[in-house]
Chains A and B, each alone.
Chain A
Amino acid sequence: MAGYKIHHKTVKGGVVTATDFTRPYGEPIKCASCGTIHFAKTYHLSLDENGDAVVSESILNNLTRMKVIGTTKKAQFVVDTTVDHPKPINLGMGRNGGLTTLGKPTVSRRPVMHLDFGEKPPRPLPLER
């Protein structure tokens, strides 16, 4: 199935994350890949040295809805081209939950940029002493 190459206007290399607060998780996720806690649907976009990433059609549509991709000034990404045969991606499992080391993990480092969409939930109040 075809993928879609998207291009970041300024960032070259690194991971850009985008969180859609209109789609909260059932419970927060401590992300083993980027080391942060996600409360809502988060897209990890691993950019190559040209600032490009290849994503699926669903992701393209959702990032467009979130205005992360588009032609407006605010949009961080633009759609470059269709990729007929994107490279397979690997997912590695170690025994009993251990992480394995693969040649090209999808995400391997902390984000260089983070984008939010939707209303961020308020921080919980500190407990009364």
Chain B
Amino acid sequence: MANALYTNYKNKLLGNGTHALADWDTDDIRATLTDHAVDTPVVATDQDYADISAGEIANTGATIAGAALCTISAGGVDIDDFAFATVSGDPAESITFYLYDATPTIAALLVFIDTATGLPITPNGADINVVIDASGLFTF
């Protein structure tokens, strides 16, 4: 695979698709690390957090975008660096950004990343610090 926006998110941006449309600088956006030997995310068909949660190794458990943490400009999204705290699980092969909702079946998947410096990542029990490039997370 490669880094990508989930197809349902693209459809939503184009006026179709399911679930809510994420507003990156106001909504509760979170990130999760996924074990592909348990559940390999499928960008083309997975739509919500329930589709990938079986493979979750660690979740930020807190907002990583939203007000004061995110900048939208020049057709792109930039977010602050963040961390997965004290990760004790198996290696993770990808990170997914998603629009948090207490109901996993409506928490929309947004961005899939399996190509980044350090992925697959081998946890050692400490924090995993995610460093976002100064030029931002993604642009259209």
Residues of chain A touching chain B, judged by Cβ–Cβ distance below 8 Å, are 1-4, 20, 23-27, 29, 31-33, 40-46, 54-59, 62, 83, 85-102, 105-107
Q: Which residues of B contact A40 (CB under 8 A)?
A: 37
Choose from B40, B117, B124 the contact partner of A99 (Cβ within 8 Å): B117
> Smallest CB–CB gap between B124 and chain A, Å?
4
Main secondary structure of the interface of B (DSSP, over half): loop
Offer 28 A-B interface pairs, CB within 8 angstroms, sorted by A.
A1-B86, A2-B125, A24-B37, A25-B36, A25-B40, A25-B93, A26-B40, A26-B42, A29-B93, A29-B114, A33-B118, A41-B91, A42-B91, A45-B122, A56-B124, A56-B125, A57-B125, A59-B91, A59-B122, A89-B129, A91-B130, A92-B117, A94-B117, A95-B135, A97-B2, A105-B117, A106-B122, A107-B118
| Contact B90 A93, beta carbon cutoff 8 Å | no
The reply on B67 being an interface residue by CB < 8 A is: no
A83-B125, A86-B126 provided; 20 other pairs, C-beta below 8 A? A3-B124, A4-B125, A25-B37, A29-B1, A29-B114, A33-B118, A43-B91, A45-B122, A56-B88, A56-B124, A58-B88, A88-B129, A90-B130, A91-B129, A91-B130, A91-B131, A94-B117, A100-B117, A100-B133, A107-B120
Size category of the B interface is: 35 or more
Q: Which residues of B contact A24 (CB under 8 A)?
A: 37
| Contact A88 B37, beta carbon cutoff 8 Å | no
Q: How far is the CA of A86 from the CA of B114 in the complex (A)?
A: 25
> Smallest CB–CB gap between A62 and chain B, Å?
7
The reply on B121 being an interface residue by CB < 8 A is: yes
Q: How far is the CA of A101 from the CA of B89 in the complex (A)?
A: 25
| Contact A56 B123, beta carbon cutoff 8 Å | yes
Max chain B C-beta neighbours (<10 A), residue from A3, A20, A31, A91: A91
Choose from B116, B120, B123, B132 the contact partner of A42 (Cβ within 8 Å): B120
Q: How far is the CA of A58 from the CA of B92 in the complex (A)?
A: 12
Choose from A3, A31, A45, A95 the contact partner of B125 (Cβ within 8 Å): A3
Q: Which residues of A contact B86 (CB under 8 A)?
A: 1
Q: Which residues of A contact B83 (CB under 8 A)?
A: 88
Name B127's closest neighbour in chain A (CB-CB). A88
| Contact B37 A89, beta carbon cutoff 8 Å | no
Q: How far is the CA of A108 from the CA of B83 in the complex (A)?
A: 21
Choose from A45, A54, A56 the contact partner of B89 (Cβ within 8 Å): A56
| Contact B119 A91, beta carbon cutoff 8 Å | yes
Q: Which residues of B contact A46 (CB under 8 A)?
A: 122
